[in-house]
Structures are given as structure tokens and as C-alpha cells.
Chain A
Amino acid sequence: MTHPTIRRIVLTVGAPISAVFFAVLLSSLFLLISGSSPFQAYIDMIENASRLETFVDILNEATPLYISAIAAAIGFRMNLFNIGVEGQYLLAAFFAAAVGGYFAGLPPVLHVTLILIVSVLVGAAYAGLAGALKVTRGINEVISTIMLNFIAVGGIIAWLIREWADDTGATNSGTTPIDESGRMPSLNGLLEVFTREISKGRELTGVLLIAILVGITYHLFINRTRIGFDFRASGYNPMAARAGGIPPKRMVMYAMLLSGGVAGLVGMSEVLSQRYKYDQSFIQGLGFNGIAIALLGRNNPVGIAIGALLFGFLNASSGILQITGSATPEIVQIMKGIIVLSAVIAYEAVRRVKLRDEARSAAEATERMSTEPEEALA
């Protein structure tokens, strides 16, 4: 038997590594079946990723994914399945872009802050709707958030985008573009301190800083604050939490509001540093990817960061595969799915081993002490 601490570390690190290993193996199989060389595809992907410009792409891709995964993770910690991150971020981005476009000529910091506040409030309010339905009417949040996704995208946005469109005649109509003052400065300068100049017009989104801030706040809030403890306790065991003085309904409400508020920020890298408006080709699907990444990262802020970078890397790779022709770009989507599935399985296996280990060591502790005089009976 190995040393317990080493064993624990091996178990913790072993799960994601074996998941990735398995995923690579299975993806290779898919590549072989589709008639491509897996080696060539992987070499292309890695070569591409080692370029500075691609690195910027990966970070830009990872930023909204990270925020989205944190939003999902907040719900998961409370055993709430907020499927509505998708609808919440789209609605929030739409309103934030509309408000940002409407106010022209505000002082720069104020303008950006205003857009951010609107996005957080809209996201929180929309998720809060699902929360309110759950605590007052007992409606499962999975059902309500799925429905609210449809209402947001197919209902509210589809209707208002036509009402508020900048140019109704355009094929890709959208909100009024946001002024220079409402745009987030890029972080190219910051990155270039460490490396060479970034070419090809790539701009590292400033929202990356917001994402990092969200991650740190999430960690402190969940693991270090009293209310974060209440949160987790409610998630672990609502009955015990209730007997321990934690009002379960209020916790559900807080969790949905927080999750939605963070979800509101998901679309900000698009609104503040890329598209500067909400139009009909606004990026979708970040909410669902976020759920997968939260699973992959086990709701842990660092784990989620790794997961988001991995997804960002895969997204950035799909382009190069198309260009070199070494594999079909769709393989990237398959790889994402395989990784998440293998990770979930690996985590569950490790969880069981850990539980067994703990039970065994606790039983040993009991027996060891039982051989001593039983002071408890005295």
C-alpha cells in the first residue's frame, strides 16, 4: 500500500489525466475510421496552438466559456441545474448592447460599467424568474430554464431586435453599435510585455480580466465566506441545512440570482471587445458548453479554467484542421463530447475509491482505539 497522501494526490490528478488519455485514444479511432491520420491532425493542432496569435484566440475563446462554466457551477454547488445560462447570457447581452448603443458619448469607464451592470442585472433577473417559480410554485428549474431559453431567444430577442434594429433593411440586423467609449480596451499591450508584437489584427479581450476576477470571487465566496458555507450545506443536504438554521428557499433564490448574474457577463467579450452590438449572428451555445466545462472542472475555479482553455484550444483548432485538411473540423466537437464523458466516468470511479479508502481508514481508527481501555464506558 502506498503512502496515503501520495495515493490521494495520484487519485486526484489521475482522473483528469486518464480521461484525456482515453479521449485522445477514442478520438484517434474516430480519425482513423474517417480516413485521416490522427498523428498528422494532432501535430497540426499543437503546432498551430504554439503560435502567439492562436494563443490569443484560445484565450478569447476561453474567456466567455470560463464565465459561463462558473455560472453553471454556482448552481451545481446548490444542486440546482441552471440550464438557462444560455438564455440568460443572450438576453443580458442583447439588453446590455442595446443600452450601450443608445447612450453615446458617455465617459469611457462609466460607459463600460453601465453595460456590465445592465448585463448582470438582466441575467440575474431572468434566472431569478426560474428561482421564484421554484420556491413559490415548486417548478423544477430544469424545466423552467429550458422554457425560458426558448422565450428569451425565440420570443423576446427575436421580437425586440426587429423593433430596435439599427437598420431594418440589413440582412444581419442588430442593435446600434456601441461607441468607442463603451468598448473594452484590449490586453495586447499587457501580453506583449512578455512576448513579441501580436500580429494579424488579433486583440486579446479585456474581459479576460473580468473572468479572472469572477473566478477569484467565486472561490472566496463559496469556500471562505459564511454564506458560501450556507450555500454548500444546502447543496449537500437541504434537510440538515434547514435544521442548522439555513433557510433553503432563500438559498435557492440567492443561487439563481448569482448564477444568472454571472451568466449575464458571458456575452460581454462579444459585446465589449468584438462585435460591439447584438445582431442575428451573435455567438450562441456558450451556455451549454459552460455546463460541460463545469462538469469537467468539477466546479473548481482552477479546474474550470483548465477546462475552458482546453475547449478554447479545441475551438481554435477546428480552423487549422480545415486549412491543412488533415482531418475534418467536426472531430473537434466529437473530442469535446468524449472528453466530458470520460471525465465524468473517471471522477465517479475515483470518488468511489476515495470513499472506500476513507471508510477503511475510519474503521481502522475505531478498531485501533478499541483495543485500548474503553474510557467512554467508565
Chain B
Amino acid sequence: MTAAIELIGITKRFPGVIANDDVNLTVKRGEIHAICGENGAGKSTLMKILYGMQAPDKGRMLIDGEEVKLSSPGDAIERGIGMVHQHFMLADQLTVLENVILGSEPTSRGFVDFTAARTHFDEVGEAYGLTIDPDDLVETLEVGERQRVEIIKVLFRGAEILILDEPTAVLVPQEVEELFRNMRGLRADGATILFIDHKLQEVLEIADTITVLRQGRTVATVDPNEVNAGDLAELMVGSELPTPATGASTVTDEVALHVKGVTVLDVDDRPVVDDVSLKIRRGEIVGIAGVEGNGQHELVSAIIGTLDPSAGAISLNGENIAHWSVRDRREAGVAYVPQDRQSEGLLLTAPLWENAALGHQTRPPFSKGVWVDRAGSKERTEEIRSSFDVRTPNIDVSAHALSGGNQQKLILGREVTSEPKLLIASHPTRGIDVGAQAAVWDHLRRSRSDGLATLLISADLDELIGLSDTIVVMFRGKLVATLDPNDVTPRDLGAFMTGAHLGDEHTPTINQAVQQ
């Protein structure tokens, strides 16, 4: 039996990143196939390629054994592939039926043929066992029902292969059950489903086959009956990567950064950072572990100065900088490697040498009095280029042209060579290739032994355990644990990160996964 979909050697590059690197995938007809991977592993890009929204740079795609080139979603639909996006694309003011036929209305003599539409709608609903009133206004529907409308929309267009992009992300548990029931029904009626998810328990429950993506590559295709969630997590994070161990301790007893009782409120006055205290000494790397969205970014923003803390003190070498401007803090020696280098770290359309000045433009060698020092800036940029191995034809190209790893090395270089007192490194190796990752680790270690105090935020637990001298765990805005990286495993960390130690009844599934 030929596979419904076969991808061979799919590669897709964007300026700065390799989203898919030689991806191979085989989806059998009539199965539910899950694609797992961390954020940034290349899942979405792969789905966009499958749905014709983006063309791969390399590789072949076979549908039912026939080689195809999809240049638009229209092509994909014609081949029987339909996609349900994570964010619904429905018109609230129209009825279910109107939404379903929108864009592929059956017509007779130039008018929309609602009778034909209704007949076809009923046929589809019956064939796949999906029930919903076609005359309901979409704005009155629950989230789960809206999702069903999206699925019907795709089936209405004759799709037999469905791509569901993180379908459970927006659903409550009861709706997830309903969705899974529908998915099983669709499978029984002959549909093939490809779905993206990173909730491991759910994947194990529903999928017939699981393919794991990591850093744009397919690392494994497994049978859910033969693996547990722990195995999957390991495949996703990849613990066999080069280890980022630091070696002998260089921690001194001079405190560089002292955060005391810092609280940051969100727009609704709820604390997103809740009474956080921590100390970082010179020569020490303090790692923050936590599931994304537990206040790490807000804590970092409060230290760097883009968010104003509502309570608490932040002292840098004994001086309270909690309410200083970002520029004053930068000048006082706070260096920052942002979590999203393209949006917060770089001027993508400006030349490299101007990027090297960003954040340091008020000081030599980047400026002289009120003037920009172009010669000094360029000289410093060349230094960064050679000592941080930034691979670029010259320093006048725009930052856009560099690969993600080289962009990151440029940012790290500019931050570290400014002789900072404190370095905040937020996900410093996210989305960069293994070689650049090792280089970044190397530079972090070197700065540490030169006496730099570093705050490291990372989703890569091996990176945190390997590099940090102390690990703190952040959960719902609070620091819930301080751990010694020498006697903690990623699994222990996972338990703290999801709040399992609190005996919380809402423990997310990932936590159950890591405890197995």
C-alpha cells in the first residue's frame, strides 16, 4: 500500500535559520500521525510546506505515490489536503454553513446555490459523523464547536488528508476528549490525519505513529505502544547533544546582582513576577528553569529596565537600579542577549557594524561625544567578527543576511566585549545549529571564568544543568526551588517546573510524563 504522504529530504532555509533540514516523513493512509517537537523545531514550517503555503528549497513530496509540487493552498486542496489552523479563520457574523462554503461556494447562474450547499454539508456531516447546526451564527459557538466548523470546512472541500496544527492548544480537557472522539471517527471513515502537538500524554493517547522533530530534523519515528512520555521528551530535547559542562567553579563571594522581593504586575494588576529574590556573584552562572510564560521574561525585563517593577529592589554592585532607564543600566554594565534575537536584538536591515553598536552606542569605541565614531565602530565589529567567528563576507552586509547562529554570535560578541558587570542570556542557543551552540557555550564559560556574573534563562534543561552553578526554578511568577546542578536530573527539574511538588491537582500532562 502506498503512503498517503511521503516527504523525502525536505529542506527549507530562511534568512538566518534552517527551519527544516533534510526532513523525511511517511504518513500511511488512514492513520493518525503525530508530529512532535519543541517550539522552533520546524513543525509549523513543515506543515506550511505540506499545505503549499511555502515551497521547500530542496526535497521531494509524494502524495499517494505521485510526485507533486504544491505552490499554493489551492494546489494542496486539489490534492485532497486540508489544514485546520491553530488560530481559527472564521467570520463571526456569518452562519456555520456560510463559513463552510466561504471561498468555494456552489453556484447556479452566478448566484450562491444554498440548497446544493446544504445538501453537501449534510452529506459531509453524515459521512464523518460530525454534527453541528448549519444555521447557528459562528459567534455563538464554543471553541470546540468552532474547531469542528473548521474541520467540516476542510472536509467540505473534499480533503482526505487533514493537517491539524496544535488542535488541543485552545481546548479544555472535555473538548479535547470530544475532538479525539471525532478524530477516531474520521479515521474510521477513511481520513488520514496529521497533527502537531507537544503535549506528550495526548500524543500517546491518540496517535498511531509519532514522528519527532528536533532542530529542523526528523530524529525518530516511533510506535506509541513502544515508548513512554519520558522517551519522547528525551527525543524532543535531545540529551545526546554535546554537553555544556562548565568545569571547576569560579564563583567568588562578591555579589554582582542582588534582586530583592521584586514584583511585576501585568495590565490586570496580577503579579507575573511575584516577590522574587536572587543573588548572582561574580564568576557565577545562575540558571532559571521554568516552563515558558511563568514570569521569566518579565523578570528579565525588570532587570534590564523595559518593565518597571511595582515592588522590590534590584542592585548592581550595591547600587539600586530598579528604576533607572534602560540606557543608564546599559552604561552601568548590564549586558543582554534577548530571547528573540530578530525582534529584540538586531536591526535586521542595518549593517553589521551598526548592529554591533546597538545598546553601546553612547560609549567608545562606538561614539565620540555627540558623534558616531564610524571608524571605531567598524574596528570593534571586526574584532568581534574574528574572535567570535561570525561568518560573514564583510561587516557592511545587513544583519538579515546572516544565519541564526552567526547573528547570535554577533550579539553575544557585542554584549561580552563591552566589559559588562552582568550578562543576561535569555535562551542563548535557541534555534541555532550545533556548532554555533557549542561556540556560544564556550564564550559563556570563558566570560564566567573572567569573573562575569551571568543570568541564564533556557528551555534546554541539559544546557541549564551543564552551565549553571546554581539553578532556580520559576513557576507562576515565583521562585519555587533552588537546586544544585550537580545532583539534579532533567526529570527532577521537570517536576518543579510544572509545580508537581506542590501537589497541585492541575498538574499539566508533561509532568506526569517526566515522572513515569
A241 contacts across to B, CB distance below 8 A? 347, 358
Closest chain B CB from A235 CB (angstroms) = 9
Q: Would you call B361 and A358 a contact (CB within 8 A)?
A: no
Within 8 A of A (CB), among B310-349: 325-331, 336, 338, 343-349
| A281 interface residue (CB < 8 Å to B) | no
By beta carbon, the residue of chain B nearest A361 is B393
B331 to chain A: closest residue by CB: A245
Is B111 positioned at the interface, with any CB of A under 8 Å from its CB?
no
The verdict on A237 contacting chain B, using a C-beta distance below 8 Å, is: yes
Q: Which of A116-124, A163-171, A221-229 has 4 or more CB atoms under 8 Å from chain B?
A: A221-229
> Are A244 and B358 closer than 8 Å at their CB atoms?
yes
B35 contacts partner chain A, Cβ-Cβ < 8 Å:
no
B401, A225: Cβ atoms under 8 Å? no
Given contacts A224-B371, A232-B350, A244-B359, contact A359 B338 (CB under 8 A): no
Judged by a CB distance under 8 angstroms, whether B79 is at the interface is: no
Q: What residues on A are CB-neighbors of B389 within 8 Å?
A: 369, 375-376
Min distance, Cβ B34 to any Cβ of chain A, angstroms: 33
- Among B343, B361, B362, B398, the residue within 8 A (CB) of A239 is B343
In Å, the complex CA distance between A175 and B61 comes to 75
- Using Cβ atoms and an 8 Å threshold, which residues of chain A touch B495? none
Interface of A is mostly: helix
| Residue in A230, A239, A245, A359 whose beta carbon sits within 8 Å of that of B325 in the complex | A245
Which partner residue on chain B sits nearest A237 by CB separation? B347
Q: In the bound complex, do residue A355 and residue B400 qualify as a contact, i.e. CB atoms below 8 Å apart?
A: yes
- Write out the residue numbers on chain A whose beta carbons fall within 8 Å of the beta carbon of B15: 355, 359
Q: Contact: B436 with A376, CB < 8 Å? A: yes
CA distance A375 to B442 in the complex (A): 11
- Asked if A225 and B327 make an inter-chain contact with CB atoms under 8 angstroms apart, the answer reads no
Interface residues in B, total, Cβ within 8 A: 49
The answer to whether A242 and B326 touch (CB under 8 A), given A237-B343, A359-B15, is yes
Contact A359 B336 (CB under 8 A): no
Q: Is A105's CB within 8 Å of the partner chain B?
A: no
* Interface check B120, CB cutoff 8 A: no
CB distance from A5 to the nearest CB of B (A): 11
**Residues of chain B with a CB closer than 8 A to A364's CB:** 393
Note all chain A residues with C-beta closer than 8 A to B374: 224
Instruction: Specify which of B326, B336, B403, B438 is in contact with A366 (CB 8 Å cutoff).
Output: B403
Segment 338-377 of B: residues with Cβ below 8 Å from A: 338, 343-350, 354, 357-362, 367, 370-372, 374
Measured CA separation A369–B435 after assembly (Å): 13
Contact with A along B424-454 (1 / 0, CB 8 A): 0000000000011011001000000000000
Instruction: Find the B residue at minimum CB distance from A225.
Output: B370
Interface contact B435-A376, CB-CB below 8 Å: yes
A245 touches B362 (CB 8 A): yes
- The docked-state distance in angstroms from the alpha carbon of A376 to that of B393 is 18
**Separation of A230 and B436 alpha carbons in the complex (Å):** 30
* Residue of chain B at shortest CB distance from A354: B398
Residues of B close to A228: CB separation below 8 A: 372
When distances are taken between beta carbons in the complex, the residues of chain A under 8 Å from B349 are 236
Q: Is the CB of A363 closer than 8 A to any CB of chain B?
A: yes
Per the bound structure, the CA–CA distance linking A223 and B351 in Å amounts to: 13
- The reply to whether A245 and B370 form a contact with Cβ atoms under 8 Å apart is no
Q: How far is the CB of B327 from chain A (nearest CB, A)?
A: 3
> Please, how many angstroms separate the alpha-carbon atoms of A182 and B372 in the complex?
38
Task: Name which residue of chain A comes closest to B409, CB basis.
Answer: A376
Tell me which residues across on chain A come within 8 A of B360, comparing CB atoms.
244
Decide: A369 and B391 in contact? CB cutoff 8 A. Answer: yes
- A213 and B132 CA atoms in complex are apart in Å by 70
Q: Is A6 an interface residue (CB 8 A)?
A: no
Say whether B304 faces chain A, with CB atoms less than 8 Å apart. Answer: yes
Instruction: Indicate with 1 or 0, residue by residue over B396-431, a CB within 8 angstroms of chain A CB atoms.
Output: 011011110010000000000000000000000000
Residues of chain B within 8 A of A375, CB atoms compared: 389
A376's closest neighbor in chain B, by CB? Answer: B439
- Confirm or deny: A243 has a beta carbon within 8 angstroms of a beta carbon on chain B: yes
Of the candidates A224, A226, A240, the one having the most CB atoms from chain B within 10 angstroms of its own CB is A240
B306 interface residue (CB < 8 Å to A):
yes
Contact of A359 among B330, B354, B391, B400 (CB under 8 A): B400
Please indicate the chain A residues that have their CB under 8 angstroms from the CB of B330 in the complex. 244-245
Cβ of B482 under 8 Å from chain A: no
User: Restricting to A323-378, which residues have a CB under 8 Å from any CB of B?
Assistant: 355, 358-359, 361-366, 369-370, 374-377
- Select the residue from A223, A246, A355, A376 with max chain B CB neighbours within 10 A: A376
- Interface residue B228 (Cβ < 8 Å from any Cβ of A): no
Q: Which of A237, A245, A246, A361 contacts B401 (CB 8 A)?
A: A361
State the Cβ distance, B482 to closest chain A Cβ, in Å.
28
User: How far apart sit A324 and B338, CA to CA, in the bound complex (Å)?
Assistant: 65
Contacts of B393 in A (CB 8 A): 361-362, 364-365
Q: Are A359 and B326 closer than 8 Å at their CB atoms?
A: no
Instruction: Give bound CA distance, A240 to B341, whole Å.
Output: 9
Contacts of B348 in A (CB 8 A): 236-237
User: Told that A233-B347, A366-B406 touch, could you supply 20 new A-B pairs with CB distance under 8 A?
Assistant: A225-B372, A228-B372, A229-B354, A230-B361, A237-B343, A237-B348, A240-B343, A243-B304, A243-B345, A244-B359, A245-B325, A245-B327, A245-B359, A247-B327, A355-B15, A355-B401, A358-B397, A359-B15, A362-B406, A365-B393
22 contacts between A and B (CB under 8 A): A225-B371, A225-B372, A226-B367, A226-B372, A227-B370, A230-B361, A232-B347, A236-B350, A240-B347, A242-B306, A243-B306, A244-B326, A244-B360, A245-B329, A355-B15, A355-B398, A361-B393, A362-B406, A363-B403, A369-B391, A374-B435, A376-B439
